[in-house]
Amino acid sequence: MSDKITAIANGIYDNVGGIQNVKKIVHCMTRVRMEIKDYSKVNITELKAVQGVMGVVEDDTLQVVVGPGTVNKVAQKMVDMAGVKLGEPMNVTSGKEKVEELAAKTKADVKKKNQKPWSKILKSISNIFVPLIPAFVGAGIIGGIASVLGNMMTAGQISGDHWATIIMVMKIVQSGVFAYLNIYVGINSANEFGASPSLGGVIGGIIMLTGVTPESPLPNIITGGNLSPNQGGIIGVIFAVFLMSIIEKKLRQVMPESIDIIVTPTIVLLIMSLVTIFLIMPVAGAISNSLVGFINWILDVGGIFAGFLLGALFLPMVMFGLHQILTPIHLDMITNTGVTELLPILAMAGAGQVGAAIALWTRCRKNTTLVELIKGALPVGVLGIGEPLIYGVTLPLGRPFITACIGGGIGGAVIGMFGNVGATSIGPSGVALIPLINNGHILQYVIGLLAGYAGGFVATYFFGTTEAMRKGQI
């Protein structure tokens, strides 16, 4: 089978002008689709004569029909030969440029071998979330504006049905990203791990437990209770898709080509749906419950210590998608006391990130790619939407994520020192939370924000960058 796939891949390359004449390769259910640099080098007649090629379609891309099942293997073999991933640009050249490219690749391979395991994990996380940054930014800004307007309505500063309609429409736009984030993460995770993106999206959708009702719940095998929609969050999705990619690759190696396209996805989804629902989600739920208990203990301690600890730990919670479990705590506090004193403290984590981002912008001006990411993610970060800065800027770099957490801890300590700073409702943090701060404590909240900005900036400026970051090498 391997010889057959290799022969088809070589036959295609031989008759399209070689690897160096192909810009990009993707595939559909039956066709290998190639973007060609110079069509004068393509020999359609000989290409059709390649053993295993069933036909050739000339469209906006050159499409070589090899059949279901086979197409996955042939396309993968072709990109492996070029040293890229499916859909990535292929810049294979010849002569001097080819030698230089080989040297660069060798250097990169050596660097990759010397990478720490956690660096590889952070890189994978970055690859999963960076493509979502434009959606985070656009929907985040709209959602931030909606939250500000909504907070102003709650505070009685604006009123009327027209405002309610405007806010509703803006929140619908925001929900287009954040309500279905699991699905997007599932698709991108599958791309990162070499699995089928559509199957990854299904795994993300499974965690939402669509169709499950309170009258017919699914059991939680760990607690004995019932599973809740989105239990496990995006970290559960990533882990589930990672396992799925292993199973899918193993199956495709042994599955006959004639039934691969039907049988493989069916078996993969059947196995992973059971594993995801009855194992991954309960385990993530158990982690979440333990985290809630830990947070309650910290709140009981109170003061500067609690403020620092909560402010510093909130970014990792957002990273793992566990911050949603705090909603019941916020609502319980508001019901019993009229405000949640937890939310203003946690909002300082976002302030630490904003300060860290500004410091990176200042210190790493030569890193144009990083600066562009910061420009896009910073506005929504100020409004309290932290995901773009987490996944696109601080987390992939490592150090700035830690210094941002320190900045959040400093802001949280200031809020904890003041005490009694609460929010009358829940929503985004950052500047968008100001209209909901309880009367008489808005100034304290703003001071906390400024302290978070300053703490994140100072910690990152002096300790959060490396020479490679500053020179734009990473």
Catalytic residue flag (residue 364): no
Half-sphere exposure of 202 (CA within 13 A, CB side): 16
Angle at 223 between CA 221 and CA 224, to 5 degrees: 65
Take residue 272 and report the two structure tokens written for it: 């992973």
Output DSSP code: residue 398.
S
Q: Which residue has the tokens 């562009």?
A: 372
In order, the DSSP letters of 284-343 are HHHHHHHHHHHHHHHHHH-HHHHHHHHHHHHHHHHHTT-GGGGHHHHHHHHHHHSSBSHH
Find the length of the chain.
Answer: 474
Dihedral sign for Cα atoms in the order 401, 402, 403, 407: positive
Q: Residue 50 in 3-state DSSP?
A: coil
Q: Which residue has the tokens 């993460």?
A: 185
The CA distances from residue 243 to 91, 275, 278, 423, in Å, are: 31, 9, 14, 41
Report the C-alpha gap between 289 and 168 in whole angstroms: 32
Percentages (nearest 5) of helix, strand, coil residues in the chain: 70, 5, 25
Catalytic residue among 14, 18, 23, 28: 28
Report the C-alpha gap between 21 and 6 in whole angstroms: 18
Report the C-alpha gap between 330 and 273 in whole angstroms: 32
Is residue 378 within 8 Å of residue 354, measured between CB atoms? yes
**Closest-CA residue to 89 (of 38, 18, 34):** 34
Is residue 79 within 8 Å of residue 9, measured between CB atoms? no
Contacts of 173 (CB under 8 A, 6+ apart): 139, 142, 143
Q: Which residue has the tokens 């506090």?
A: 333
Indicate which residues carry an active-site annotation. 28
